[in-house]
Chains A and B, each alone.
Chain A
Amino acid sequence: MKVWALVEHLRADWRSALRNPSQLMMAYLFPLGFALVLGGVMPELNPPFRASMVSAFALVAVIAGALLGLPGPMVEARMTGVLRGFRVVGVPDAAAAGVPGVSALLHALVASSLVAVATVALFRGEAPVHPGGFVGVVALTAFALTGLGTLIGVVATSARATMLFAQALFLPSMMLGGMMVPFAALPAKVRPAALWLPTTHAMQLLDAVAFGRATALPAQVHAAALAGTGLVAWALALWLFDTEPREQKAWRGAVVFLALAPLGAASLAT
């Protein structure tokens, strides 16, 4: 594969995402708005939230861009013949499948950095002790979530199916994934289920690596769960990628949840 072509493709896709109102909304406007609104409210209602709000808001930026912003345009591109157009002009399938995810990952890093800085500056959120570790964990989380987002974009065959798959991961992550309610504060019966969510591991890993706090499992387990999910999701997405529209089959939807197996393994390990 030609490296220069990939760079050109990535550059064009990066800019396109900024011109696409729904992607711009999910990658930047929604997480910034979310941080601005909840950053003003949550510490007043729950002062200990100040300790985790930088991590939580940064992860909201990652999950919104990766799960709500990324898959829709990929499905639309398949349905409108753009992916077919890519194939006829010589774009390799791996590039057509992977570039939007890489572009979303880079946008997620920019958006989460902006949100983190704004949260510290405007709402006195607790800043990470190890900023490098913070960026590293956010990048690893973005790798896992953009893998899942790309996989949804590959297996979903309609806007409706895309929304269903994305919300099936997004909503539980927001409620149980450690961003709004710390993992330690969840009822004991709910915790194993929470460990099936990427954001739980991301929040725990941020606590360990960026803030030097104790976590539920060793940091290596959280890191392995995220990396494993990312690798499985990306591998499945590249393997199942197709340029042509097709009928929705139940097994294709189930594949999305197969990618969560490494997270489930961590849950079982507890």
Chain B
Amino acid sequence: MSAVLEVQQLTRRYGARVALDGVSLAVEAGEIHGLLGPNGAGKTTTLECAEGLRKADSGQVRFLGAPVVPGRVPARMGVQLQSSALPGAMTVEELLRFVSAYRGAPPRKGIVERFGLGELLGVAYQKLSVGQQRRLQLALAVASQPALVVLDEPTAGLDVATRAELHALMRELKREGTAIILATHDMAEAEALSDRLTVLIGGRVAAHGTPRELTRQGEQRTRIAVRTEKGTETRLAALAAAAPQPSADGYTVWLSDDPAASLRALLDEVGRAGDSLVDLRVERPSLEERFLELTRKEAA
């Protein structure tokens, strides 16, 4: 896969405060790249430098192999910012026409239907619900078939149904080969949608990898909770690669460093005892737990 967006060693200061300190990341074609970080971590500054809305003090941003010129958003980059709006009195149809005219291409076929804007064409932007406004902003960002879509907290403040709609749209875009960079505070969203994640803390890249890799790298371990017919698990003195924990709700609990080995050993013991499982729960450490661990380390 080729990198659609390459950010290399980006630094940016606001007075004495260092907002970005050598941030590097790459977004591949057809991937959703999650950008996580607490408030003030440098997510928005990174995105703004990548879009050409802000000039970095040093470092390089390349989009489709060409340097991004500060002050000009590349034509094949679709952007939806949380901090931007559209003229309230313009209708959905006027906005689609007007933006397409500046982009120099008619809106991609079926965009109105796909984003559920058909019945809203004559409605002024200010009269749309927040969810409809976000849908329209996303539609405008992808209307001219961009190679990369930059989304800054696109689902913040939306209800569950609208959020699910937008997630489905993002997955569709990814299937079509569009790269997406998604800045979000929603860990579940990041874990469910992202192929790879970059965690920024204090203007630096604190972690990078797939959601699975990130959670594996942490100190948190996989929680195995089990109940059997005859209670064999309660009599186990030890379990491979796992440490026993206090029982909870009638379950015997272990924390495992190697869940595959622990589960194999557990199932062997249960089988040997002629027992059978009533319930088995395996919970990997969540991205949220890993994120909190990273922020705690940074604070320490």
Interface residues of A (CB under 8 A from B): 2, 4-5, 7-9, 11-13, 15-17, 19-20, 77, 80-82, 84-85, 87-92, 95
Do residues B98 and A19 form an inter-chain contact, with CB atoms below 8 A?
Answer: no
A91 to B103, CA, bound (A): 8
Question: Contacting A2 at CB < 8 Å: which of B88, B101, B124?
Answer: B101
CA A88 to CA B44, docked complex, whole Å: 14
Q: Would you list which residues of chain B between 71 and 102 have a CB under 8 Å from chain A?
A: 73, 75, 79-81, 83-90, 94-95, 97-99, 101-102
Q: In the assembled complex, which residues on chain B have CB atoms less than 8 Å from the CB atom of A87?
A: 53, 73
Q: A8-B97, A16-B89, A20-B89 given as contacts; is B81 within 8 A of A85 (CB)?
A: yes
Within 8 A of A (CB), among B102-147: 102-104, 124, 140-141
Which listed residue, A5, A82, A84, A92, touches B98 by the CB 8 Å rule?
Answer: A5
A to B contact number (C-beta, < 8 Å): 76
Are B84 and A81 neighbours in the complex by a CB distance under 8 Å?
yes
Tell me the complex Cα distance, A2–B103, Å: 9
A-B contact pairs, 20 of them (CB 8 A): A2-B101, A2-B102, A2-B104, A5-B98, A5-B102, A9-B102, A12-B98, A17-B89, A19-B89, A19-B124, A20-B89, A77-B87, A82-B88, A84-B83, A87-B73, A88-B81, A88-B84, A89-B79, A89-B140, A91-B102
Chain B stretch 43-87: residues in CB contact (< 8 A) with chain A: 51, 53, 73, 75, 79-81, 83-87
CA of A91 to CA of B102 in the docked complex: distance in angstroms? 6
Q: Which of A8, A20, A80 interacts with B101 by CB under 8 Å?
A: A8
Q: Does the CB pair A9–B86 fall under 8 Å?
A: no
A-facing mask of B160-187, CB < 8 A → 1, else 0? 0000000000000000000000000000
Whether B102 and A89, one on each chain, are in contact in the complex, defined by CB atoms closer than 8 angstroms, is yes
A85: which B residues are within 8 A, CB to CB? 81, 84-86
The 8 closest A-B pairs by CB, nearest first: A85-B84, A5-B101, A16-B89, A88-B79, A8-B101, A19-B89, A12-B94, A5-B102
Q: Which residues of A contact B101 (CB under 8 A)?
A: 2, 4-5, 7-9
Assembly CA distance A159 to B60 (angstroms): 38
Q: Among A82, A90, A95, point to the contact of B86 (Cβ < 8 A).
A: A82
- Tell me which residues across on chain B come within 8 A of A77, comparing CB atoms: 87
CA distance A88 to B94 in the complex (A): 17
CB distance A90 to B99 under 8 Å?
yes
User: Smallest CB-CB separation from B94: which chain A residue?
Assistant: A12
Residues of B near A92 (CB, < 8 A) are 102
Contact check, A81 vs B83: say whether CB atoms are below 8 A apart.
Answer: yes
Instruction: Say whether A84 contacts B87, CB under 8 Å.
Output: no
Q: Which residue of B lies closest to A20 (CB)?
A: B89
Contacts of A80 in B (CB 8 A): 85
Task: Return A176 CB to nearest CB of chain B, in Å.
Answer: 35
Closest to B97 in A: A8
A8 to B94, CA, bound (A): 8
Contact check: which of B51, B84, B98 meets A8 at CB < 8 Å? B98
CA distance A12 to B81 in the complex (A): 22
CB distance from A90 to the nearest CB of B (A): 4
What is the CB-to-nearest-CB distance from A60 to chain B, in angstroms, rounded to a whole number? Answer: 25
Do B87 and A82 touch (CB < 8 A)?
A: yes
Q: Which residues of A are found within 8 Å of B140, using beta-carbon distances? A: 89
